[in-house]
Amino acid sequence: MWIETKTEMEEASRTRASFSRRVLNGLLLCSGDMEHLDKYMKDKSFVLQLAVCGLRGVTRVILANNPLSGGLILAALYWASPWQGLLGTLGVLASTLTAVITGQDSVEVAGGHHGFNGMLVSLLMGVYSSAGDWYWWLLLPVFLGSATCVFLFSGLSSFLDRWDLPAAVFPFNIIIILYLLCTGPEHPYFPHHSIKPPGALEPNATELIALQVIRGIPLGVGQIFACGDLGPSLLILGAVFLYSPLLTVHALLGSAVGTLTGLSMAVRHESLYSGLSGFNGALGCMAVGGFFIFSLWTHLFAIASAFFSAYANIALSNLMGTVGLPACSWAATLVATLMLLLTGSLAAYRIPTGQVRAPERNLQLRSQWEAGNTEERESADV
Amino acid sequence: MWIETKTEMEEASRTRASFSRRVLNGLLLCSGDMEHLDKYMKDKSFVLQLAVCGLRGVTRVILANNPLSGGLILAALYWASPWQGLLGTLGVLASTLTAVITGQDSVEVAGGHHGFNGMLVSLLMGVYSSAGDWYWWLLLPVFLGSATCVFLFSGLSSFLDRWDLPAAVFPFNIIIILYLLCTGPEHPYFPHHSIKPPGALEPNATELIALQVIRGIPLGVGQIFACGDLGPSLLILGAVFLYSPLLTVHALLGSAVGTLTGLSMAVRHESLYSGLSGFNGALGCMAVGGFFIFSLWTHLFAIASAFFSAYANIALSNLMGTVGLPACSWAATLVATLMLLLTGSLAAYRIPTGQVRAPERNLQLRSQWEAGNTEERESADV
Amino acid sequence: MWIETKTEMEEASRTRASFSRRVLNGLLLCSGDMEHLDKYMKDKSFVLQLAVCGLRGVTRVILANNPLSGGLILAALYWASPWQGLLGTLGVLASTLTAVITGQDSVEVAGGHHGFNGMLVSLLMGVYSSAGDWYWWLLLPVFLGSATCVFLFSGLSSFLDRWDLPAAVFPFNIIIILYLLCTGPEHPYFPHHSIKPPGALEPNATELIALQVIRGIPLGVGQIFACGDLGPSLLILGAVFLYSPLLTVHALLGSAVGTLTGLSMAVRHESLYSGLSGFNGALGCMAVGGFFIFSLWTHLFAIASAFFSAYANIALSNLMGTVGLPACSWAATLVATLMLLLTGSLAAYRIPTGQVRAPERNLQLRSQWEAGNTEERESADV
Can you tell me the distance from the alpha carbon of B80 to that of B86, in angstroms, rounded to the nearest whole number?
11
Residue A6 has pLDDT above 70, yes or no: no
Of C163, C266, C319, which is closest to B181 when you measure between CB atoms? Answer: C319
Among chain A residues, CA nearest to B159 = A159
Residues counted in chain C:
382
CB A157 within 8 A of CB A115: no
Size of interface A-B (CB pairs under 8 A): 71
Mean pLDDT of A204-217: 82
What is the ipTM score, two decimals?
Answer: 0.88
Chain C residues lying within 8 Å of A264, measured CB to CB: 189
Mean pLDDT of A114-140: 93
Residue of C338, C339, C346 to mutate, interface with B, max B Cβ within 10 Å: C338
Q: Cβ of A177 and B338 within 8 Å?
A: no
Among chain C residues, CA nearest to A201 = C186
Task: Give me the pLDDT at residue A155, please.
Answer: 95
Among A124-133, A293-302, C183-192, C339-348, the least confident range: C183-192
How far, CA to CA in Å, does A34 sit from each of A65, A248, A289, B347?
8, 18, 19, 32
Please report which confidence band the pLDDT of residue A1 belongs to, taking 50, 70 and 90 as the band edges: very low
Please calculate the CA angle A367-A370-A373 and round it to the nearest 5 degrees: 155
B44 vs A95: which has the higher pLDDT: A95
Can you tell me the distance from the alpha carbon of A229 to that of B110, in angstroms, rounded to the nearest whole number?
64
Q: Cβ of A158 and B314 within 8 Å?
A: no
Q: How far is A344 from chain B (nearest CA, A)?
A: 26
Mean pLDDT of A126-135: 90
| Burial (0-12, 13-18, 19+ Cβ within 10 Å), A126 | buried
Residue A205 has pLDDT above 90, yes or no: no
Mean pLDDT for chain C? Answer: 88
Task: Give me the pLDDT at residue B14, please.
Answer: 74
B304 vs B34: which has the higher pLDDT: B304
Q: Cβ of A341 and C159 within 8 Å?
A: yes
Can you tell me the distance from the alpha carbon of C58 to that of C50, in angstroms, rounded to the nearest whole number?
12
Can you tell me the distance from the alpha carbon of B108 to that of B111, in angstroms, rounded to the nearest whole number?
5
Say what the alpha-carbon torsion angle C342, C343, C349, C350 is, to the nearest 10 degrees: 50
Chain B residues lying within 8 Å of C316, measured CB to CB: 178, 181
Q: Cβ of B184 and C308 within 8 Å?
A: no
Q: What is the pLDDT of residues B177-186, one digit of tens each?
A: 999 998 877 7
Contacting partners of chain B (3+ CB pairs under 8 A): A, C
Which residues fall within 8 angstroms of residue A364, CB to CB, at 6 or more apart?
none
Q: What is the pLDDT of residues C21-36, one digit of tens each?
A: 877 777 777 888 887 8
Task: Give me the pLDDT at residue C380, please.
Answer: 53
Please state the three-class secondary structure of C211-238 as a single string: HHHHHHHHHHHHHHHCCCCHHHHHHHHH
**How far from the centroid of its chain's Cα atoms is residue C160's Cα?**
20
Can you tell me the distance from the alpha carbon of A249 to that of A282, in angstroms, rounded to the nearest whole number?
10
Among chain B residues, CA nearest to C165 = B159
SS3 label, residue B184: strand
Residues of chain A contacting C, Cβ within 8 Å: 162-163, 199-200, 264-266, 304, 307-308, 311-312, 314-316, 318-319, 322, 337-339, 341-346
Q: What is the pLDDT of residues C362-372, one digit of tens each?
A: 888 888 877 77
Task: Give me the pLDDT at residue A378, please.
Answer: 56
**Radius of gyration from C-alpha coordinates of chain C:** 22
Among chain C residues, CA nearest to A347 = C103
Mean pLDDT of C274-303: 93
Q: Cβ of C181 and A341 within 8 Å?
A: no
CB C175 within 8 A of CB C117: yes
CB B232 within 8 A of CB B262: no
Residue type (1 letter), B220: G
Q: How far is B214 from chain C (nearest CA, A)?
A: 36
Spell out the domains of chain B, with CATH numbers in brackets. 42-194 (1.10.3430.10), 203-381 (1.10.3430.10)
Task: Give me the pLDDT at residue A380, please.
Answer: 53
Please state the three-class secondary structure of A58-123 as a single string: HHHCCCCCCHHHHHHHHHHHHHHCHHHHHHHHHHHHHHHHHHHHCCCCHHHHHCCCCCHHHHHHHH
Mean pLDDT of B228-253: 94
Can you tell me the distance from the alpha carbon of C232 to that of C226, in angstroms, rounded to the nearest whole number?
11
- Compute the half-sphere exposure of residue C120: CA atoms within 13 Å on the CB side of its CA: 27
Look at the alpha carbons of A228, A231, A234, A235 in this order and tell me if their dihedral is positive or negative: negative
| Burial (0-12, 13-18, 19+ Cβ within 10 Å), C39 | exposed
CB B167 within 8 A of CB B153: yes
Among chain B residues, CA nearest to A175 = B312
DSSP string, B306-318: HHHHHHHHHHHHH
Can you tell me the distance from the alpha carbon of A225 to that of A238, in angstroms, rounded to the nearest whole number?
14
C40 vs B46: which has the higher pLDDT: B46
Mean pLDDT of A257-284: 91
| Burial (0-12, 13-18, 19+ Cβ within 10 Å), C41 | middle
Q: How far is B178 from chain C (nearest CA, A)?
A: 5
Look at the alpha carbons of C160, C163, C164, C170 in this order and tell me if their dihedral is positive or negative: negative
Among A10-19, A276-285, C162-171, the least confident range: A10-19
User: Of B58, B119, B128, B50, which Cα lies nearest the Cα of B87?
Assistant: B119
Residue B350 pairs in a beta bridge with B292
Which residues fall within 8 angstroms of residue A5, CB to CB, at 6 or more apart?
none
Residue type (1 letter), C342: L
Residue of B305, B318, B345, B346 to mutate, interface with A, max A Cβ within 10 Å: B318
Task: Give me the pLDDT at residue A186, please.
Answer: 78
User: Of C298, C213, C212, C211, which Cα lies nearest the Cα of C247?
Assistant: C298
Q: How far is A103 from chain B (nearest CA, A)?
A: 5
Size of interface B-C (CB pairs under 8 A): 71
Mean pLDDT of B9-22: 74
Task: Give me the pLDDT at residue A40, please.
Answer: 78
Among chain C residues, CA nearest to A343 = C154
A46 vs A89: which has the higher pLDDT: A89
Contacting partners of chain C (3+ CB pairs under 8 A): A, B
Task: Give me the pLDDT at residue A18, please.
Answer: 77
Please report which confidence band the pLDDT of residue A382 belongs to, taking 50, 70 and 90 as the band edges: very low
Which residues fall within 8 angstroms of residue C346, CB to CB, at 6 or more apart?
B102, B103, C292, C297, C298, C301, C339
Of C265, C319, C345, which is closest to B103 when you measure between CB atoms? Answer: C345
**How far from the centroid of its chain's Cα atoms is residue C35's Cα?**
19
Residue C118 has pLDDT above 70, yes or no: yes
Of A155, A177, A186, which is closest to B338 when you measure between CB atoms? Answer: A155
- Most confident among A11-20, C188-197, C340-349 (mean pLDDT): C340-349
CB C63 within 8 A of CB C290: yes
Residues of chain C contacting A, Cβ within 8 Å: 99, 102-105, 144, 148, 151-152, 154-159, 162, 177-179, 181-184, 186-189, 323
Can you tell me the distance from the alpha carbon of B353 to that of B330, in angstroms, rounded to the nearest whole number?
20
Q: Cβ of A181 and B314 within 8 Å?
A: yes
Task: Give me the pLDDT at residue B197, please.
Answer: 67
Task: Give me the pLDDT at residue B5, please.
Answer: 62
Query: In this prediction, what percent of chain B has a pLDDT beyond 70?
Result: 93
Task: Give me the pLDDT at residue B157, please.
Answer: 94
Q: What is the pLDDT of residues C184-224, one digit of tens each?
A: 777 888 888 887 766 555 555 677 888 889 999 999 999 99
DSSP string, B159-173: HHGGGT---TTHHHH
Q: Cβ of B151 and C311 within 8 Å?
A: no
Q: How far is A221 from chain C (nearest CA, A)?
A: 22
Alpha helix stretches (DSSP H) within chain B: 6-30, 36-41, 46-60, 67-80, 82-101, 106-110, 116-128, 139-160, 170-182, 210-222, 230-243, 245-264, 269-273, 279-291, 296-321, 330-341, 359-381
Q: What is the pLDDT of residues C291-324, one digit of tens each?
A: 999 999 899 999 999 999 999 999 999 999 888 8
CB B212 within 8 A of CB B267: no
Chain A residues lying within 8 Å of B337, measured CB to CB: 155
Q: What is the pLDDT of residues B130-155, one digit of tens each?
A: 888 899 999 999 999 999 999 999 99
Q: How far is C353 from chain B (nearest CA, A)?
A: 16
Residue of B97, B151, B174, B189 to mutate, interface with C, max C Cβ within 10 Å: B151
Q: What is the pLDDT of residues A344-369, one digit of tens each?
A: 888 889 998 888 888 888 888 888 87
User: Of C203, C200, C180, C217, which Cα lies nearest the Cα of C318?
Assistant: C200
CB A244 within 8 A of CB A359: yes
Query: Which one-letter DSSP state was computed for residue C162?
Result: G
Among A15-24, B54-63, B238-247, C221-230, the least confident range: A15-24
Q: Cβ of C181 and A343 within 8 Å?
A: no
Can you tell me the distance from the alpha carbon of A248 to that of C133, in angstroms, rounded to the nearest whole number?
44
CB A235 within 8 A of CB A76: yes
Query: Which one-letter DSSP state was computed for residue C352?
Result: P
Please report which confidence band the pLDDT of residue C226 belongs to, taking 50, 70 and 90 as the band edges: very high
Residue type (1 letter), A300: L
Please report which confidence band the pLDDT of residue A161 belongs to, taking 50, 70 and 90 as the band edges: very high
CB B126 within 8 A of CB B83: yes
Mean pLDDT for chain B? Answer: 88
Query: Which one-letter DSSP state was computed for residue B327?
Result: -
Mean pLDDT of C29-49: 81
Residue type (1 letter), C301: F
Chain A residues lying within 8 Å of C148, measured CB to CB: 308
State pTM to two decimals: 0.90
Mean pLDDT of A175-193: 87
